[in-house]
Structure formats: structure tokens, C-alpha cells
Structure 1
Amino acid sequence: MSDRPHVYAHVDMDAFFVSVELVRRPELRGKPVLVATGTIASRGVVMAASYEAREFGVHSALPLAIAHRRCPQAILIPRDMAFYRRASKKVMEVLHRFSDRVEVAGLDEAYLDLSDCPAPEARARQLKREMLAATRLVCSVGLGPNKLCAKIASDLDKPDGLCVLGPDRMLEAVGDRPAKLIPGVGPRTAERLEVMGIRSVGELASADDAVLDRTLGPRLGRELRQRARGHDDRPVVTEREQKSESRETTFPGDVSDREVLNTTLDELADGVARSLAEAGHVGRTITLKIRLRPFRTHTRSRTIDAHTSDPTLIREVARRLLADFELDAPVRLLGVGVANLMRTNNGSGPAEPSANPADALTLDV
């Protein structure tokens, strides 16, 4: 690594699910299009909305019934996750041409370390051009001295944008935005901040240390205030440095039906198994993550005898963990993870332990 200052890029594919659909259905360009799960009758939910649909107040996570009332002329397309994952793989292939340090943050977004690049802004423009040529998809790119600034920057100039943001412009750019914009400010933390009269990023950035210490504890409170000021020391974590593989999904409404939970669990387990196989990893510790209303998160884990990436086994263990869990409230979020990873060396020779510890990679389903 050179002595140049850190430069990170956050690449966010614009309206990804809809944009991928428009590649194979170009006749729908310029029209309000929705990708959704389920139907209006089955309480389906919008997964993605074209920019034309957004003009009518339709957005992701909106119930289809409400979306239909706001934009009855919208064209509804059922989700096709297999197709989106194939498109995502092509996107990531393009990104790896521009840096050997790429952190996948979702099907449609990733961080790149461009610190060794002498002209990162020109490099980002080249990335956008090559992405369009290779995938026919448009992306927005944010550049910053850390991951937080880069991610926020990518959202400031959409669609098809390129924005540079540093801590010195953080409050000018997003000071009046809700505090939940800051990573680490989830629903419960946002509620606790609001009790203190802290609702915006700017108010969090100027909050008194003593007040934050009393309410959130000294570590979390001060860390969130630093992030609100644009400071973030999280590194880009590549797949090779990955410690675990996980997937999770947030339900649009409360779910208590165990059959629905089991079906969702199977989809998540299959996704984890597929990612493990693609990365050449196997794991021993299988974890269930479950969030109950109101925002109580629990995890349950089981370590098996041998490393695996077998979807049937991962599903079976995850289902057992769920069956043993007493549901005393509706479920809002469900997740499955596999940790304690080893590499399989592409199936030849003995497996070896995975590299340095890192945060789990989470991809929404």
C-alpha cells in the first residue's frame, strides 16, 4: 500500500432489480415498473420501483395494495432472484477489474479500495462507462476517505451520478437528514436518541458526550457521534478475509406462521449454501438470527461435526434451531449464517482455515 490517503468508492446499482428487468424487457423503459413479491390479494410488497413509479410515491417495501392505489398504471413484474443473482455476478466481475480489494455489500452494491489509484475520480468515471458497456446497467458512485462518506456520497447524486464527499462537507450535505442514516443507528437506537431530542445527523454530531454516555453507553454513543461527523475507520473487507457467510430478510409485516418461517428459512439456507460453494468455502457453525417485535434480536447457533456447504444439512440444522425457539411475539426478521469457515481449495487437497476475521457478509433475499 502506498502513502497516499485512503480513497474508497461505494458503487450502487441504480434501481437494480427493475433495471435488470428492463435489460430483457426494453419495451418497458420510460414506464412505471414495479418488481414485487406476491400479489395485491396476497399482501405482496414492492421490492423495487422504477424512477417513473417513484414519482407517484411508490418505493421499495411498500405494500402492493398501497402502490396500486398510488400508481394504478404501474406494470407489475414478479421477482426473479436467480436472474438478479446472475446479473449481480456480472456486476462484481466488472468491479474486480478496478481493484483487488472489493467488499460485496449486497447484490447491487459494493465498496472498492482505490487508495493506490493516482486519479480515483477518473477511475470512477471509467468504471461507470465499463459497467454500462458490460452489463447495460447504470450505477452511481460515491468517493470518500472512508466507507461512510463514500456510501452517503453515492446516494447524493442519483441516478447515474458521481459524487465526492469528505468529513468537512458531511454536515452540509446531510446534517438535516434523519439520524438513522448513520450506520449503527437502528430503530431502537433512533427511538432512544429521539427521547433526547436528537433526530437529525447534525443534532447527533453536536450532541453532548455526557448525554450520549448516559443513554447509549460511552463506546456506542461516541462512535455514533464520530460517524455523524463523517469519521469511520472500518476497512474494506474482501471475500478472502471473510469469517462467515449469512443471509437475512426483513418481513414487510409481522409473521407468526411457522410454515411461512420455515419456507423462508429454507430459501435463506439455500442462498448461504450457494454462496459458500461459489466462494469455495465450507463451515461448521450454523446460526439462526431472529428479530421479534419490538426489535428484540436473538441468535442461536449449533456447531456440527464436519465442515459443510450442503444446503440440505444447513436447512435441517436451521429448522431445528427455529423449532427449539419459543416465539413469544411476531417475527420481523429472519437470518441464517454459517461460520467457522475453511477453504476447500476448489475441491482438490485438504481444506485450510479461512483468513483474517471480518464482519459477516449479508445479502438480502
Structure 2
Amino acid sequence: MTARWVLHLDMDAFFASVEQLTRPTLADRPVLVGGLGPRGVVAGASYQARVFGARSAMPMGQARRRCPHATVLPPRFALYQAISREVMDELAAAGGVLEPVSVDEAFLEPPDLAGASAEVVSAFATDLRRRVRERVGLPASVGAGSGKQIAKIASELAKPDGLRVVAADEQDGVLAPLPVRSLWGIGPVSEEALRKVGITTIGQLAATDTREVVGVLGSAVGGELHRLSRGIDERAVAPRGAAKQISAETTFDTDLTAMSAVHEAVEKITAAVHRRLVADGRAARTVTVKARTADFTTLTRSETTAFATRELPTLSAMARRLAGTAVGEGGVRLLGVSVSGFSEDPPLALFDAVPSDEGWTTRPISSPDAAALAAASGAADSEVTASPADIPSTADADGVTITEDAATPAGPDAGIGAGPTRPDFRADDPDRPWRAGDDAVHTEHGHGWVQGSGHGRVTVRFETAVTGPGPARTFDAADPAMARADPLLSWRPAG
């Protein structure tokens, strides 16, 4: 049988690296990306911040205490998604099957590498890393091995900005000393169960009888994990299926107690979900609302229509009704909205599904209010699809976090058009005060980012990925020469 080679590419500290690339002053400084509020969560941490113990999925307050001198920035998901598309395009051009795992990592199995020597694979991967860096300006680590598990572990060993090729005759030696948590499928509970029987490394797990492993971890996963510990991984590299669900959720700085505030939040979250639904070109029959109370009790309510829809007024109305039954008297700390039950053939846009005494029926949607809402939501840019490794399940408190289940990242023809400049760009909320991390453009000084604001003043550092470190200047917050800018222009300026 011809030797198999699977490659795993992982963009190093992706979110933070994008911020350091597009804001060159931060290139060698600790950066934390995530929610800025008291309930914010770290979505990404630079390597300079990680040495102090800050990491993804950590409460932002804890990360800031560990690394008080870090620059904290809100996520710019549209920018991350645009760069991710180009990375995935470059990987697809390498040949073979591509399996995106998240916005910043993917597996590939180039047929030209079947039966190749480790030296040939190393040369191939070195060239791949070079092409990714030249295309997007960011480093990537690559691991290669006989299966997905070995390739993933190899890329972790290669970080940051490195390459590790694990040949079949050395994989046992590479795996043996690693902690069992390095294996897919082993979390804190499984790790503790194995520790109780004296198994703490992959080598110890591999040397244990399969029946004992199954007895500890269960028949469902024990046998498979034992095979992986011995380097046996026959799982195919395969494209991921279409999203089964699109969802968004927000954690609030303070609990929402007024139903009017709940409805306002639900409408904003639903609009974010709707933007992605429209971008996908599909319609949904089911809307689900999730509410988490102050004591972390989570309630969900769902409603399914007879007709698939992608009209915002209908989705918002369903979400508001569901929120009324899911939210109790004590208020909520988190709200989420998801849509599912997708259809590729929605009703004609002249009609929409609405509830009536006779059940779900159709009605014209050409009323001024509905048309205005649909137009307002349709022009907005879509949010990013991210993995739980990059965006924790508790979303940051400063915006809506979009997630998808089993989603394929948007292809080269999706989303922002032929290039990074989006002529339909519009600020999420042009009336809110300037905050640190906002993209700004000045008629005289060009593109920059807000370093700080307050007392009617705002300080902007004017720089992009192509300018190198730039100067900082302070203006009146209401200066008519300054406006909110498209984040994509910090990466590749127009023209």
C-alpha cells in the first residue's frame, strides 16, 4: 500500500496576528482580541501575550490581570473571514482534497505526495507556507503525517511559524511522551478517568490493553482513541458539509430585565443571523431562541413554519415571540438566536410566511415597513464563521458572535466581491461613540485605528499593513473630516 501523507495547516494566533499585521505598531507587542466588557471573553491572544498566561476562551478580565500591558481590541470578524478565504483558496490550489476545520486551519491530502519521501513532503510544505505568507502576509505552521491525527499534532509541535514532518517510522517516538489530552476526543473528564488508572501519556495509552481502555472510556470512543494512540488513523480528508444551523448570541455586560430591552437585543441578533442566511442563499423554517439567566440556567424555545423564509421581518417576529416565553422575570445574561431547517428553494420574494388563525400562510411583503427592514439588513456585511477554538461558546459582550454547525467556509465567489474593498460597506452603528480598535479614515491622513477616546476627543494611529508603523493624532470626536472605515482597507487599501 502506498504511503499516505496528510497535511494540516494552522494560521498562528490568527486573530491576534491579523491585528498585528494591519496595525504595525503592535507587531511585537502583546495583543488580546475579544470582548471589552466585564463579561468579555478572549477570542485570540498573540504569542507575546501567551507567555504571561493569557489564552483563548479565558475571561478577558483574567487575561488582562495576567497581562496588564496588553493591547485589547474588539474582533473584526469580516476581516478575518476575508483573509481566511484567500488562505483556503491557496490551499485548494495545492491540489487534492481540502477539508477546512475552522476559519484558520485545514487538512489537505495532495495526491502528488502519495508514496513520497519525508524530504519531498518537507519541500512541498515549505513552498505552501511561503505561498500563504506571500498571499496574505501572515505566518502559518504546517504538520505532516500518515493521518489527520499525526498531522494535527505535528502542526502543534511546529508552532509558531514552523514545519514538522513526522515519518511513519518515527511517529511512535513522537507520540509516546505527549499528554493524552493531545489526542482528539480526550477532554478533562476522559483525562481524569485515565489518570486514575495511571495513564497520563499517549505512550502509556498505546501500551494499555484495548479492553481496559474501553472499560475506562466506554465502547463508543475507547477503541478509536486506542487506535489513534498507536498512530492508526484511516479517517479520510473530506470537504465539510453545508451548515445545518446558523446562530448568533450575545452576552450582556449587565442582565437584561426589561422585555423591551430583550426584544431590542433579539432583533439585533436576528439581523446578524439573517445577514449570513442571505449570504448563503438559503431560507430557513425553524427559529430557536436561547436565554441564559443570571444563575446560568439555559432555556430554549423553537418554532417552525410551514414555509421556508429568509425575510427579516418574519424571522424577527418569530424570535420576539419565542423570547417572550424563554425569558423569565429574573432577567437574562445571554441571548441567542439560531435558524435551521434550511431550504435551497425558498418561496418567491413577493410572499412571506406568516402566522394566522388558519395556521401558517403567505402574505405579500411589499409593505413599506417590511421592505425597509429587508433593505436595511441586506446591505450589511456578513459575520465570520469561526470555530469554538477561536470564539468561545459564550460570545463577547461587545457584539454579536456568529457561529455555524458543520459549515464550509465561503468560497472565492462569496461575500465581498472581487477584492477586499466592499463598496456596500456601512458602519455597524455610526452613532455610537468611538472605541479603541475602531477603524477610522481621515480626509487628510488616510486610514487608521482608534487607540483611545473620551471627553469628546479621539486618538487615531494612522497605519495599515502596507504603511508600516504610523503616527498618532488626536481630534475632536465630532470632526467632520473623520469617519468610520472598512476594516478590510487596513489590510489591502483600495487602489
Same fold (TM over 0.5): yes
Greater share of helix: 1
Matches within 5 A, 1:181-260: 181-239=182-240, 241-242=241-242, 244-245=244-245
Q: Which deviates further from its counterpart, 256-265 or 181-190?
A: 256-265
Amino acid of the residue matched to residue 12 of structure 1? D
Measured at CA, do residues 221 and 301 of structure 1 come closer, stay the same or move farther in structure 2, by a change above 3 Å?
A: farther
Q: Is 1:77 the counterpart of 2:73 in the alignment?
A: yes
- Percent of residue pairs bearing the same amino acid type: 35
CA distance in 2 between partners of 1:264 and 1:170 (Å) = 51
Amino acid of the residue matched to residue 227 of structure 1? L
Structure 2 segments unaligned to the other structure (5+ residues):
115-119, 350-404, 410-495
Match of 2:340 in 1: 338
Give the Å deviation of 1:256.
9.5
Deviations 1:310-351 (A, max 9, x none): 677667767878887899xx999989573666489xx9xxxx
3-state SS in 1 of match to 2:191: helix
Deviations 1:254-297 (A, max 9, x none): x99899999999888777665555555556567789999xxxx9
Measured at CA, do residues 92 and 157 of structure 1 come closer, stay the same or move farther in structure 2, by a change above 3 Å?
A: same
Measured at CA, do residues 250 and 268 of structure 1 come closer, stay the same or move farther in structure 2, by a change above 3 Å?
A: closer
CA distance in 1 between partners of 2:278 and 2:245 (Å) = 11
Measured at CA, do residues 227 and 288 of structure 1 come closer, stay the same or move farther in structure 2, by a change above 3 Å?
A: farther
3-state SS in 1 of match to 2:94: coil
89, 109, 116: which one aligns with 2:105: 109
Amino acid of the residue matched to residue 110 of structure 2? L
Match of 1:361 in 2: 407
Q: Is 1:18 the counterpart of 2:16 in the alignment?
A: yes
Match of 2:149 in 1: 148
Give the Å deviation of 1:149.
1.2
3-state SS in 1 of match to 2:93: coil
3-state SS in 1 of match to 2:221: helix
3-state SS in 2 of match to 1:112: strand
Deviations 1:61-90 (A, max 9, x none): 233333333322211212222222222222
CA distance in 2 between partners of 1:248 and 1:200 (Å) = 38
Give the Å deviation of 1:299.
9.6
Match of 2:412 in 1: none
3-state SS in 2 of match to 1:218: coil
Give the Å deviation of 1:21.
0.9
Match of 1:356 in 2: none
Match of 1:131 in 2: 132
Amino acid of the residue matched to residue 152 of structure 2? K
CA distance in 2 between partners of 1:263 and 1:138 (Å) = 41
- Total equivalences in the alignment: 343
Does the 8 Å CA contact 2:6/2:108 hold for their aligned counterparts?
yes
CA distance in 2 between partners of 1:24 and 1:316 (Å) = 39
Amino acid of the residue matched to residue 7 of structure 1? W
3-state SS in 1 of match to 2:42: strand
Measured at CA, do residues 117 and 203 of structure 1 come closer, stay the same or move farther in structure 2, by a change above 3 Å?
A: closer
Structure 1 segments unaligned to the other structure (5+ residues):
348-358
Measured at CA, do residues 26 and 319 of structure 1 come closer, stay the same or move farther in structure 2, by a change above 3 Å?
A: same
Match of 1:35 in 2: 33
Q: Which deviates further from its counterpart, 101-110 or 172-181?
A: 172-181
Does the 8 Å CA contact 2:129/2:140 hold for their aligned counterparts?
yes
Give the Å deviation of 1:17.
0.5
Match of 1:176 in 2: 177
Q: Which deviates further from its counterpart, 44-53 or 15-24?
A: 44-53
Larger radius of gyration: 2
Does the 8 Å CA contact 1:286/1:317 hold for their aligned counterparts?
yes
**TM-score, normalising length: structure 2:** 0.56
Amino acid of the residue matched to residue 13 of structure 2? A
Match of 2:414 in 1: none
CA distance in 2 between partners of 1:280 and 1:121 (Å) = 40
Q: Which deviates further from its counterpart, 262-271 or 184-193?
A: 262-271
53, 56, 61: which one aligns with 2:52: 56
CA distance in 2 between partners of 1:72 and 1:311 (Å) = 42
CA RMSD of aligned residues (A): 4.5
**TM-score, normalising length: structure 1:** 0.73
64, 85, 88: which one aligns with 1:68: 64
Measured at CA, do residues 317 and 56 of structure 1 come closer, stay the same or move farther in structure 2, by a change above 3 Å?
A: same
